[in-house]
Structure 1
Amino acid sequence: MKLTELETHAERLEHLREIVKPFRERAMKAEAEGRFPFENFEDLKKSGYPALAIPKSFAGTGISLVELLELQVEIAKADGATGLGIGWHMSVMKNIGENDPWPDGKFNKLAGEVIEDGILVNNAASEPASGSPSWGNLPLTTAKETESGWVLNGRKSFTTMAPILDYFIVSATIEGTEKVGNFLVSRKHEGVSVIHTWDSVAMHGTGSEDVVFENVKLESDDFLEYRPVGPKPSQGWLLHIPAAYYGVALAAREEALKFSTSYSPGDMEGTIADIPSVKERIGQIELRIMESGTFLFNTARKWDDGDADVRMAMREELGVAKLIVVNKAMEVVDLAMRIVGARSLSAKNPLQRCYRDVRAGLHNPPMDDITIQQLANKGIAEFR
């Protein structure tokens, strides 16, 4: 049974929990071997998961942002890297499908491939020299227009899921101009190559490798859109990022509870969960989980229920959701490791991977300092 064939959110959630059960063990094995966890992503593809976020207007399931985040949390709880990785594809499908900025029929064709074959798509935007597009720099990757289409040259970094992506949405400076365009590039094109550069100790399983485009010949209709000028609209789909780290926090919570309710040193009656200091830490974990989960899902619910004006005004809330969830997730992991003690640093213990993975959230957009600056500017402007 595919997830796309199930009618209710409850059914999809229950079925997904069964699908992700092997993910944690597989991910630990793949990381130990220094390879990408292909099996996890293949299982998600077979289940129809990549099509769930495609709007119904494009024959997809059209799940809400709230449901998407709840499903993403379940994946990330089993393996944070798989959750964060597939989250990028899901958010791209939801964002492009709902806003439909591409030429007529382009997204419809891509959506059909996702629905039929489970193909995976992600943006390729960051670069080794010019950095993240959030800095506003022109990409060093260039696209030259020809009589028959375009020729693409450049190198992208931090391209999540690069080992398994079918298509890259590539940002490039139009040669001879200061305009930036987005292009849809198949990995099957001659001149496209993935270079193994991803040596991160956090979220290693995202496979965020470099991708090189060397004289890649594109058709005219592979051009998708120009990068909009001016302030970016609010991007609710980016909540998939904090959802992944919320899942990591839940995994750490589970490890702490499993250990504390089963471990009885010496001739102790009961378990260490009955010790006041341990119980205090468990309570602090529960508090942080409740705080971050409530803010995350209330923000997503507001996005789902809001019109265009409401969504446009949510920029600060979306940034705050990411800041709160990631920072509280780090606190949860730390508390869990204090409960488990030195065993949490064992290579066999899931907590040491939670510890490494959760730190990566600080470097996903939007950055904490940018969010704080936005809040300051908003407060000052309102007071004045």
Structure 2
Amino acid sequence: MDRLDNMFVLSAEQERRLKAIGELADGFAEEAHRVDAEHDFAYAHIEALRRLGYFSYTVPADEGGEGISLYEFVLYQERLAQGDASIALGVGWHLGVVYDLNHKKQWTEAALTDLNEKIVKDQHLVNRAATEKASGSPTRGGKPLTTAKRRQDGSYVLNGRKTFTTLSPVLDHFIVTASVEEDTAEFLIPRNTAGLRIEETWHTLGMRGTASHDLVLEDVVLPESALACLLPKKSASAATPYLLHIPACYLGIALAARKEAIKFAYSYHPNSLPAPIIHLPNIVQQLGQIELELHAARHFLYSVAARWDRQVLPPERLNAELNAVKVTAVQTAMSVVDKAMRIAGAHSLALDHPLQRLYRDVRFGLHNPPMEDAVLSMLGKLAISDYEDAYGRGNAPSTRSEGR
């Protein structure tokens, strides 16, 4: 196992699980490249993870799952992303949603127990379908245009279209947000429900293997029991810990790029040099910079995950860090991939080279929540608030220099 892969392991059990996931990830890389080139989907990777029992890792232990911590979730997702970032991102949404549902417990007990049972017994896959073209990212607070109208018998009729439905070819259930009069609700909808269909609209530059097609709902009739919860009216900027699977994924891409750069530098030996370029001082310097950036971003990620698991502070005290981790990770991952491509030179631009796929995939992180502009605005306002709390509004010490 690579030194960086094993850096954050804390127990023998984590090491065992990470080894199994790493073996799968290393075997996924070739197929991930084909899927990207042919705009296909890696069904075999989903089945391999299902056989491992991976989809129930975030189901609580008392519900039959593994009940892993947020720290472990990040650890395994980062390793998985080194082999197939698209599948890692998609499976991360499933695992993260399951983690979120079981920790917040906003659903009815019957609905949550039923979902957990399906995941544990049959390794079912689930994801939220919340994004719409008109309302934008759910993290910005837009109200869904998808509607759920209650009928006299208590059932609901849903109509609408959702975008970015990641893993759409293999999801067993869709968690759909819909407007119910003045409220917003979540409905759990089985894949085989009449009126539900997937429209293949996913034609993107990066993360092509996520198959994040549109979900179309046309007069979908659901029983009253399909209403899992009415969502509380809260600030759209509130952080959610399970979203750490996103920075973990992009740092996994960066780690994969690092390996590709070292592999290339060891094997590339132009006849103008006495040895491969791995020994050139400028290559060593670039690799050193890659190591430095990865160390900083990864320690930030794992530190915040561990602090959340300990729950020493009130959850809201970690909101800033939870948001900032994603921005730092994506900025670092893009920088590392760029440096890896500089080491490989023009070779990295060839369509059969792994680095060009990593280059395209990593930039998708800019468009995953939380959004960078919102995070920076939040952090800036927090800095101002801290200053005003210390000195009082309008009572800050003067910065004017006397005699100038």
Question: What is the TM-score with the length of structure 1 in the denominator?
Answer: 0.95
Number of the residue aligned with 1:328: 332
Secondary structure in structure 2 of the residue aligned to 1:151: strand
Give the 3-state SS of the residue equivalent to 2:109 in structure 1. Answer: coil
CA deviation string 1:205-236 (max 9, x = no partner): 11111000111111111101112112255311
Give the greater-gyration-radius structure (CA).
2
Q: Is 1:374 equivalent to 2:378 in the alignment?
A: yes
CA distance in 2, matches of 1:148, 1:373: 43
CA distance in 2, matches of 1:23, 1:52: 20
What is the Cα-based RMSD across aligned positions, in Å? 1.3
Residue 69 of structure 1 deviates from its aligned partner by 0.8
Q: 2:352 aligns with which of 348, 357, 363?
A: 348
- Following superposition, the deviation at residue 57 of structure 1 comes to 2.6
Task: Show CA shifts across 1:151-203 (max 9, x none).
Answer: 111000011111111111100001xx221111101111000000000001100
Greater shift in the superposed pair: 342-351 or 259-268: 259-268
Contact residue 89 and residue 249 of structure 2 kept, 8 A: yes
Report 1:178-217 matches (<5 A). Answer: 178-217=182-221
Match for residue 97 of structure 2? 92
1:63 equivalent in structure 2 = 68
Partner of 1:313, secondary structure, is helix
Alignment size in residue pairs: 375
Q: Which residue of 1 aligns with 2:178?
A: 172
Shift of 1:274: 1.4
Match of 1:220 in 2: 224
Deviates more, 1:220-229 or 1:323-332: 220-229
- Pairs within 5 Å for 1:193-342: 193-231=197-235, 233-266=238-271, 268-307=273-312, 309-342=313-346
- How far is 1:51 from its partner? 0.4
Q: Runs of at least 4 residues of structure 1 off by over 6 A?
A: none
1:21 counterpart SS class: helix
Aligned equivalents of 2:256, 2:130: Cα separation in 1? 30
Cα separation, 1, equivalents of 2:27 and 2:269? 29
Q: Distance in 1 between matches of 2:376 and 2:64?
A: 40
Instruction: Report the more deviating stretch, 326-335 or 42-51.
Output: 42-51
Instruction: Give, in angstroms, the shift of residue 312 of structure 1.
Output: 1.7
Q: Which residue of 2 aligns with 1:4?
A: none
Match of 1:21 in 2: 26
Which amino acid is 2:156 matched to? W
SS at match of 2:94: helix
d(CA) in 1 for partners of 2:103 and 2:134? Answer: 32
CA distance in 2, matches of 1:38, 1:347: 23
* Alpha carbons 1:58, 1:97 under 8 Å: kept: no
CA distance in 1, matches of 2:316, 2:64: 27
Contact 1:161 1:206 in 2 (8 A): yes
* Distance apart, 1:60 and its partner CA: 1.0
3-state SS of 2:82 partner: helix
Identity of aligned residues (%): 40
2:59 is matched with 54
Alignment partners' CA distance in 2, 1:228 and 1:314: 20
Q: Residues of 2 paired with 1:369 and 1:131: CA distance?
A: 15
Per-residue CA distance 1:40-81 (angstroms, 9 max, x = gap): 111111210000111113121101111111110111000111
* TM-score of the pair, normalised by structure 2: 0.90
Q: Could you tell me which residue of structure 2 aligns to residue 130 of structure 1? A: 135
